[in-house]
Amino acid sequence: MTTTRQAISVGGTANDGTGDTLRSAGQKINSNIENIYYRLGGDSDNFSSQISLVDSAVEFKPGANAVYLSSIPTLTGDRDIQLPDASGIITLNSATQTLVNKNITMTRTILDNTDVGSASDSPIPATTNPYIRATGTGYQVTLQDGNASDIGTMKVFTYTGTGILQVTATGGNFDLEGPNNRGMILIWDGSQWIQLTQFDTDT
């Protein structure tokens, strides 16, 4: 099967005898149509029962409902969508998704932060920003509990004040002592906050 379109020669002028014969013209027509069937159906005899071309889109219809591959009418430039060299499922929606077995590389990334400077900033909601930047002079704050569905939620504390910052939460009291620019990471396990690590932000 050739992939090049075969044009029927119609000769130089009408009935000059230089064009294709009826048989040759018919063979070229059959070959061109065979190529179309092959491209749209996977073989030379049958069109695909699930894929078709509709107005300005490609229609995929594996069952009662269809999916349309199209673009919005007002593209501002050419778009290049590259698929990875791997099998899997592409999710296109606005729902919260969970990444599994993925490495995320972040360089000079700034997280939204919540500033805490005194006991009056307590309690700290579990829904606040993941980075809690504490300053001030020795005080106590309470970190509220998360929900059972919030397993894996983390809070990163840094403390650049003086004295002891005591964070009270379900799971215990977690202290940071300045002025050594201390920090810690807490994670919610579904029922309590657990300290993963404590670190010196100067190192």
Which pLDDT tens digit goes with each residue over 57-75?
Answer: 888 888 888 888 888 777 8
Examine the pLDDT at 203 and tell me if it is beyond 60. Answer: no
How confident is the model over 108-142, as pLDDT tens digits? Answer: 666 689 999 999 999 999 989 999 999 999 999 99
Domains and CATH numbers, the chain: 1-73 (no CATH), 113-200 (2.60.120.1230)
pLDDT recorded at residue 158: 92
CA distance 49 to 44: 14
pLDDT in the model for residue 9:
94
Which whole-number Å values give the CA distances from 34 to 1, 52, 90, in the listed order? 8, 16, 33
Share of the chain above pLDDT 70, in %: 93
Q: What is the dihedral of CA 50, 47, 9, 2, to 10 degrees?
A: 90
Pick the closest to residue 129 from 94, 100, 160, 158 (CA basis): 158
The residue with greater pLDDT, 190 or 73, is: 190
